[in-house]
Amino acid sequence: MSIKAIVFDAYGTLYDTQSVADVTEEAFPGYGEIITQVWRIKQLEYSWLRSLMQRYADFSIVTRDSLAYTLRTLGLTYEGAAFDAIIDKYLHLDLYDDALAALTAMQDRSLAILSNGSPEMLNALVKNSGLDRLLAATISVDANKVFKPAPSAYALIESTLHVRPAEVLFVSSNPWDACGAKAFGLNVAWIERVTPEAMALACVESTVLAPLTFFKAIRTQMDALGLAPDHRIRSLSELPGLLAQT
């Protein structure tokens, strides 16, 4: 069966969550990298915990709560203006360099985003980056009040785009997201931006792991969940060629 729709994860797949580092470093000199990594780890953890506890709050709240946790844990005091400036970066995250060209090259298919982000966050981000003119839909899990990788989050693809799971290629650089989509029954392309070989080398180069290296070790390598993506690619730029074979 041919692929009719390509659905992308947003954070970490189309948009570089590491691009907040300049803002965190400006607000808290010397702490920018550790803030960026702990914040992202807690942001994901809070989304999963809230889903498991059935105490949903939209991603804007999760994002603020996880940043507050991070600053408090690191013993950093802050004013509201500094906090809001960091949060605002999530509405202006940098696109990966190959994102715009890749999506432009695939306009013969229906393109969409499925993200944990709240509608307000996603709509602003997509508009600010110019992807609004290329996407058929920007789907937020907020419609079902549960975060990925819950199956009902991925079910929003079919109900929104009216395509069956077998007709969808889901694209994510987040291993947990790739596994969740595969478990649901979608075709999955995982973007492996950091190879195991590169990861191993980074870990042995120093006796003390830098925060970014630690983050990559726990969040960028394929999880051992008994699931595997259908395709492993290194960048978004490989997608048009991959789809030409379907």
Per the document, the length of the chain is: 246
Is residue 9 among the annotated active site residues? yes
Both tokens of 164, joined, read 């069956």
Dist CA 235 CA 98 (whole Å):
8
| ∠ Cα 178 47 82 (to 5°) | 115
**Residue whose entry in the numeric block shows the structure tokens 């792991």:** 209
Both tokens of 149, joined, read 């990788």
Catalytic residue among 9, 58, 142, 177: 9
Q: How many CA atoms lie within 13 A of 189 on its CB side?
A: 24
Specify whether the CB–CB gap between 35 and 199 falls below 8 A.
no
Helix axes 32-53, 59-73, angle to 10 degrees: 130
Q: In sequence order, what are the residues at sequence separation of 6 or more whose Cβ sits closer than 8 angstroms to the Cβ of residue 112? A: 5, 6, 7, 8, 135, 136, 137, 138, 139, 157, 160, 161
Partnered with residue 138 across adjacent β-strands are 113
Q: How many CA atoms lie within 13 A of 176 on its CB side?
A: 14
Catalytic center residues: 9
